[in-house]
Amino acid sequence: MTSDDLDTVRARERAAFAAAPCRLAVCTAAGCLSSGAGAVRDALERTAADGADSPGLRIIGTGCLGLCHAGPLLRVFRAGAPDVTYAHATPDLAAAVVRQLPDGRLPDERQLPAMHPFFAHQHPVVLENAGRIDCERIEDYVAAGGYAALQQAMTEMKPDDVIREVVASGLRGRGGAGYPTGLKWSTVAKARGAGKFVVCNADEGDPGAFMDRSVLEGDPHRVIEGMAIAGFAVGAEQGYIYVRGEYPLAVSRLRVAIRQAERMDLLGQRILDTPFSFRIDVRIGAGAFVCGEETALIASIEGKRGAPRPRPPYPASFGLWGRPTLINNVETYANIPPIIRSGGAAYARLGTERSKGTKVFALAGAIVNTGLIEVPMGTSLRQIIFDIGGGIPDGRSFKAAQTGGPSGGCIPASHLDLPVDYEALAGIGSIMGSGGLIVMDDRSCMVDVARFFMEFCRDESCGKCIPCRAGTVQMHTLLMRMTTGVAAERDLTLLEQLADMVTRTSLCGLGQTAANPVVSTLRHFRDEYMAHILEHRCPAGVCRMPRAPERAS
């Protein structure tokens, strides 16, 4: 298939799309599927097949619509009418929708308000296709403008041009650290040596985070396209997507997507009849958080024990099997097609001075609208949590937001108006991270929260370096002493010293950031620690304290 052939396919699909005045999109991301989206889809198809069919009706399974707590979600698109979204859809409701479609009078029950604030304040770029395309049909992706960026890169641009656009976009790594993507690409492009690799890090492991899973499940071709463009730009012919083993649906959709792309010459030998070849293979992780660290991930792809190694040398010069390797996260690659399509400068108009574009967040915890959102960088936490997220349920009050997972920190109410960008979050002791955002109300004990994350790091430490392996154990022990009311003041000193030491001396990012939840809660909620230690009292009432504490002098 040539580039012109692809244009033909796109035109044909768009015509077919225009001819179908009505689409019913069921969210088939893992969240909605687990609350019954499969039965809803079956009911739609059964009812349509039973003769209540209206001409031009299409039923699609689509990517995450975002409002996960209200799933299964069902969205109705009709030509000339506003979209209608149903929450908590049931098979009966689905059947009623199909039957009443021809009259144009849809059932009122379970309809979300037309301008639901959850959707109104968002700005989808990475998630632009959610609801619009069937996540298992490459033709839908192509019709929505998919693979146009790859075509453009292949036919109109040189690798340097592609890198220039990525640099101009100001895109920074969405995996957490925020390293400038353009700089990384140009480093790999300049690295000498044949047989370079492009790797996609889909080992999303932070508790409460599901951004990458949603992108892979809902729009796998977008990631494939981003990787192929990256391969073209840096001179690699082989790509790997390293997906965590807990994401079977993402893996199966990726595999379907890769096969489809290969069939249309968008992957494989001589892409779109150009001299450029690029293959993608899927590698599945085995449940180790540390494999999200790039050198551990590389070791795991190589078939070795997933343990990090010291850097330098960085993967850009010495990566997979010793070859120059580009590693980016799922969301980073998903940002590439729009950057190439509309140009880096256009992309850079979104966001703040040093953090460009949008960011996908997974909202979880004590928040009304649990789910997946995408907002421009620089949106305030208050807008995210209260306007989009709907605030705190049960009339409780906001206490803290945790960003960045076990490597991140807690942000207190006094910083709610902070614009979310890399520097601002780092400035108050948290990090952007990959986009997990856990909201806590006044019933959360911050010492207990720190203990929870420390337990996570302790269990996920690979054990290679002593500070992380044994330091997390001791920090967890000290936090346990505090939450069980047997701690003394010297335990706090020990904790602070250990936090500093583990941060400064650990081998990889896991250990270097493992103490962040402790440091940030100490910074913003020190009084809670003191209440646990001096008064053997948990202000939030979470920790169970013994009546007569067995004190250690």
Partner 1 sequence: MSVRTLTINGQPVSATEEQTILDVAREHGIDIPTLCHFDGLSEHAGCRLCLVEIAGSPKLHAACVTPAAEGIEVTTHSDRVTAYRRQIVELLLAERNHVCSVCVANRNCELQDLAVAMNLHHVRYEPQDPQLALDASHPRFIMDPNRCVLCTRCVRVCDEIEGAHTWDVMARGRRAMIVSDLNQPWGESPSCTGCGKCVRVCPTGALFEKGATTTVRDPDFLTYLKTAREQKLWIR
C-beta of 352 vs 506, nearer to partner 1: 506
C-beta of 235 vs 471, nearer to partner 1: 471
> Residue from 465, 515, 519, 538 that binds partner 1 (CB under 8 A)?
465
C-beta of 47 vs 503, nearer to partner 1: 503
Handedness of CA 137, 142, 145, 150 (dihedral sign): positive
Smallest distance from the beta carbon of 240 to partner 1, in angstroms? 22
**By CB under 8 A, residue 310 contacts partner 1:** yes
Amino acid at 458: R
Q: Which stretch binds partner 1 (CB under 8 A): 377-385, 454-462, 521-529, 531-539?
A: 454-462
**By CB under 8 A, residue 354 contacts partner 1:** no
**By CB under 8 A, residue 454 contacts partner 1:** no
**By CB under 8 A, residue 72 contacts partner 1:** no
Q: Which stretch binds partner 1 (CB under 8 A): 140-148, 149-157, 455-463, 517-525?
A: 455-463
**By CB under 8 A, residue 474 contacts partner 1:** yes
**By CB under 8 A, residue 538 contacts partner 1:** no
Strands, DSSP E only, in 43-121?
57-62, 74-78, 81-86
C-beta of 123 vs 309, nearer to partner 1: 309
Smallest distance from the beta carbon of 184 to partner 1, in angstroms? 19
Find all residues with CB under 8 Å of 342, minimum gap 6, and list them. none
Smallest distance from the beta carbon of 504 to partner 1, in angstroms? 6
First to last CA, the chain: 77
> Residue from 469, 484, 488, 542 that binds partner 1 (CB under 8 A)?
469
**Sheet (strand 81-86) strand order:** 57-62, 22-27, 74-78, 81-86
Report the 10 Å Cβ neighbour count for 321.
11
**By CB under 8 A, residue 473 contacts partner 1:** yes
C-beta of 392 vs 462, nearer to partner 1: 462
C-beta of 279 vs 309, nearer to partner 1: 309
d(CA 543, CA 546): 10
Question: How does strand 196-202 pair with strand 236-243?
Answer: parallel
For partner 1 (CB under 8 A), the number of binding residues is 31
Scan for tokens 């690699």, then name that residue: 236
Smallest distance from the beta carbon of 500 to partner 1, in angstroms? 9
Give the SS3 label for residue 283.
Answer: strand
Distances (CA, A) of 346 to 57, 129, 160, 185, 341: 36, 19, 18, 20, 10
DSSP alpha helix (H) spans, 157-247: 159-169, 181-190, 211-218, 220-234
Smallest distance from the beta carbon of 459 to partner 1, in angstroms? 6
**By CB under 8 A, residue 519 contacts partner 1:** no
**By CB under 8 A, residue 344 contacts partner 1:** no
**By CB under 8 A, residue 484 contacts partner 1:** no
Report the 10 Å Cβ neighbour count for 253.
23
Structure-token pair, residue 44: 């739609």
Structure-token pair, residue 538: 């948990």
Q: Which helix (H) or strand (E) holds 424?
A: helix 422-427
Q: Write out the residues near partner 1 by the rule CB under 8 A.
A: 288, 290, 305, 307, 309-310, 458-467, 469-474, 477, 494, 497-498, 501, 504-507
